[in-house]
A and B are shown apart, each in its own frame.
Chain A
Amino acid sequence: GNSVTQMEGPVTLSEEAFLTINCTYTATGYPSLFWYVQYPGEGLQLLLKATKADDKGSNKGFEATYRKETTSFHLEKGSVQVSDSAVYFCALSDSWGKLQFGAGTQVVVTP
């Protein structure tokens, strides 16, 4: 079956540092891939998505590229802010639109 594996947290870094969160997946067919973000006390929000191989999703300075050859969808941001502190979830969607989430990675950005 489908599965998503993402790096464990917490990831702690200083403001303006470079952020990478690794995500790899196992799936049949050609899933769509997503990153969701959850700020404290809130629900999950869609951050970015990619629907086919080599697509790059981007939003709010975050980027992720759909790599079919390595079955990966790593999230990156060049310069994080304190406001980026949140839990980040990688997910894939099967052909029916049902999402499979990773375990989530907590990111803590310090001033």
Chain B
Amino acid sequence: DAGVIQSPRHEVTEMGQEVTLRCKPISGHNSLFWYRQTMMRGLELLIYFNNNVPIDDSGMPEDRFSAKMPNASFSTLKIQPSEPRDSAVYFCASSLRGTGGEGYTFGSGTRLTVV
């Protein structure tokens, strides 16, 4: 398996523009997580899905952020409009729910810079 695949690896955009980050989880995994990592706040869980259904989005910072999982092999995180404070590395991770002993597999992340 190729692991969790995220795209793009780097994104530079202007304030006010829409940004879409993409994630392909490991085949067979039924849980997907979106994290944001910054120096100031560390690793923050934004939202997680189980069987394509959003279970907990309490970490989504505000309405400018939205996430979808239309099928088991694809998820998107969208920021509209983007702001400079959204600059961070965004990670996607997947796991097989119910196997608490297995942990997550993380993607390589998308480094977002909003200027």
State which size class the interface on B falls in: 20 to 34
Q: What is the number of contacts between chain A and chain B, taking CB atoms within 8 Å?
A: 56
Contact of A104 among B42, B107, B108 (CB under 8 A): B42
* Binding site secondary structure of chain B: loop
Which B residues lie within 8 Å of A95 (CB)?
100
A13 within 8 A of B: no
Contacts A103-B42, A104-B42 given; does A46 touch B97 at CB 8 Å: no
Q: Is the CB of B95 within 8 A of A43?
A: no
Contact of A45 among B43, B106, B109 (CB under 8 A): B106
Which residues of A approach B to under 8 Å, CB–CB? Answer: 31-32, 34, 36, 42-46, 49, 51, 89, 91, 93-99, 101, 103-104
Contacts A97-B31, A101-B43 given; does A42 touch B108 at CB 8 Å: yes
Contact with A along B78-100 (1 / 0, CB 8 A): 00000000000001010111111
